[in-house]
């Protein structure tokens, strides 16, 4: 018999509608799973049994009356601890953030979920202020990979990815400023989607400016489409939000890939060294798309690595975070973050504007590229998960996380929609991901290509084997219980 924690959000809503189980049953099962996995992977900074079960009970009453509040009524959801959630401190992985406060406001995406009856299970881990592509922080320690607890879950939405992969809620909200949804999705074997910038309203604005997107982290593309139909709703607090979507993302994800023009770039024109196991898994996914009727051409987008421009924008954003902290608190920052803050503070306004020029030109090139191709397919990452607790793999030669994420951050510069879909594993059983990128505003097309892979049965299962042992907590971290825990 399928466990309740194995069901997708779509399956849960269908089960509630048919009266097969209740939101209370599901929430209890998810909370138990969250408690079980926490000592092993450290996915949560906070679990709130009392509030979650109260919301689940209210949802159960609505379903009994046949009056659900919305599209995800009663579905357990987790929220990355970068996004505001009413009644829960948002600590951002930092010793510099005080837990005391009113905490009386929801971020736009959280507010939309609350309106649709979602059950908030807990807040998930992030590196400090979401600054890097792995998840460890001075405040909450290291978040570990569901497939191997000695490896990283990726980041910066690593807690969300680990929670979804291990059944602690089928839906999670992540943020992505340089790959932070797609990186951990690839490392943890789940689906991660970065929508077009502005498609999901964001408030407060990210210190990293218009690089940072809010997006779904889910079991599959169908759940992500469902979640997009919820969190894409308007919010007056975000002046940069897009207008209403053209239609339902669930409907837009249907239709398959027959006739679509797909550009397959295995290494961005030889700029990236991809591990053979990852390259083979991605090529297999591309071959499946061709078998489903897509026109596939191996070709590369015409750009060189924009990492210097990305660093200018990213490190300047980090410096802005530190600038707002009292001087004596800055010594509490993650040493790596403190280093990039110092670098960012040395950039001039002209340096920043030069990086904006690079970004503009990259956007132009990708706009022209998508006149010829509906989607671009690449590896999400050139590697699988490496050792936990470090920013870059040992002996890789990389100092910063951007060294091993060359497929992700370019599409934050261009604000394009992009997703990571599980496509296989290496010899150690660690997941690999294939990235699907489309032109700005073509969010539904990304979901459509991903959904075709899921419907064809070509996406590996997302549930890793039960982890054999707990790992001792690292540093001062640990889950902060809510009332009733």
- Annotated active-site residue 348? The verdict is no
- Annotated active-site residue 157? The verdict is no
The residue ranges of every structural domain in the chain are: 4-455
Among residues 59, 80, 172, 206, the one annotated as catalytic is 80
Residue-level pLDDT at 472: 42
Contact 396, 275 (CB under 8 A): no
Residue-level pLDDT at 305: 98
- Annotated active-site residue 80? The verdict is yes
Q: What average pLDDT is seen over the chain?
A: 95
Residue-level pLDDT at 47: 98
Residue-level pLDDT at 327: 85
Residue-level pLDDT at 463: 59
Low-confidence ranges of the chain (pLDDT < 50): 462, 468-473, 483-485
**The model scores a pTM over 0.85:** yes
Residue-level pLDDT at 2: 76
Residue-level pLDDT at 476: 54
Among residues 59, 94, 109, 156, the one annotated as catalytic is 156
Residue-level pLDDT at 470: 44
Among residues 180, 212, 265, 420, the one annotated as catalytic is 180
Residue-level pLDDT at 474: 59
Residue-level pLDDT at 253: 97
Class for the domain spanning 4-455: alpha beta
């Amino acid at each position: 018999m399928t466990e309740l924690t194995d069901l997708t959000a779509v399956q849960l809503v269908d089960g509630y509608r048919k009266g097969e189980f209740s939101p209370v049953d599901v929430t209890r099962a998810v909370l138990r799973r969250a408690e079980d996995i926490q000592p092993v992977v450290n996915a949560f900074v906070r679990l709130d049994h009392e509030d979650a079960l109260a919301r689940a009970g209210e949802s159960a009453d609505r379903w009994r009356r046949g009056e659900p509040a919305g599209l995800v009524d009663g579905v357990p959801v987790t929220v990355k601890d970068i996004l505001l959630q009413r009644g829960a401190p948002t600590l951002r992985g930092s010793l510099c953030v005080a837990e005391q406060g009113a905490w009386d406001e929801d971020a736009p995406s959280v507010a939309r979920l609350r309106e649709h009856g979602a059950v908030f299970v807990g807040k998930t881990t992030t590196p400090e202020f979401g600054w890097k592509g792995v998840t460890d922080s001075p405040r909450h320690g290291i978040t570990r990979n569901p497939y191997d607890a000695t490896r990283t879950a990726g980041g910066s939405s690593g807690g969300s990815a680990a929670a979804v992969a291990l059944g602690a809620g089928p839906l999670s909200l992540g943020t992505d400023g340089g790959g932070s949804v797609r990186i951990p999705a690839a490392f943890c074997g789940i689906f991660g989607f970065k929508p077009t910038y502005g498609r999901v309203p964001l408030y407060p604005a990210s210190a990293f400016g218009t690089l940072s997107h809010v997006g779904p982290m889910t079991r599959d593309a169908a759940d992500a489409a469902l979640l997009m139909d919820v969190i894409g709703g308007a919010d007056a607090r975000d002046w940069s939000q897009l207008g209403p979507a053209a239609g339902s993302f669930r409907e837009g994800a249907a239709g398959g890939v027959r006739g679509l023009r797909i550009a397959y770039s295995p290494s961005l024109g030889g700029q990236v060294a991809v591990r053979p196991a990852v390259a083979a898994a991605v090529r297999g996914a591309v071959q499946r798309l061709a078998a489903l009727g897509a026109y596939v051409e191996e070709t590369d987008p015409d750009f060189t690595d924009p990492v210097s421009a990305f660093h200018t924008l990213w490190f300047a954003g980090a410096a802005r975070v530190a600038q707002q902290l009292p001087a004596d608190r800055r010594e509490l920052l993650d040493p790596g973050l403190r280093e990039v803050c110092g670098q960012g503070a040395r950039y001039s306004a002209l340096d920043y504007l030069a990086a904006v020029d690079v970004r503009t030109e990259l956007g132009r090139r990708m706009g022209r590229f998508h006149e010829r191709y509906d989607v671009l397919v690449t590896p999400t990452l050139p590697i699988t998960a490496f050792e936990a607790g470090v920013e870059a793999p040992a002996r890789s030669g990389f100092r910063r996380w951007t060294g091993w994420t060359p497929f992700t951050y370019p599409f934050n510069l261009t604000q394009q929609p992009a997703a990571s879909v599980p496509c296989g594993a290496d010899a150690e059983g660690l997941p690999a991901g294939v990235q699907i990128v489309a032109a700005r505003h073509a969010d539904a097309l990304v979901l459509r290509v991903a959904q075709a892979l899921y419907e064809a049965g070509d996406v590996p299962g997302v549930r890793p084997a039960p982890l054999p042992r707990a790992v001792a907590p690292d540093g001062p971290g640990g889950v902060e219980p809510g009332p009733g825990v």
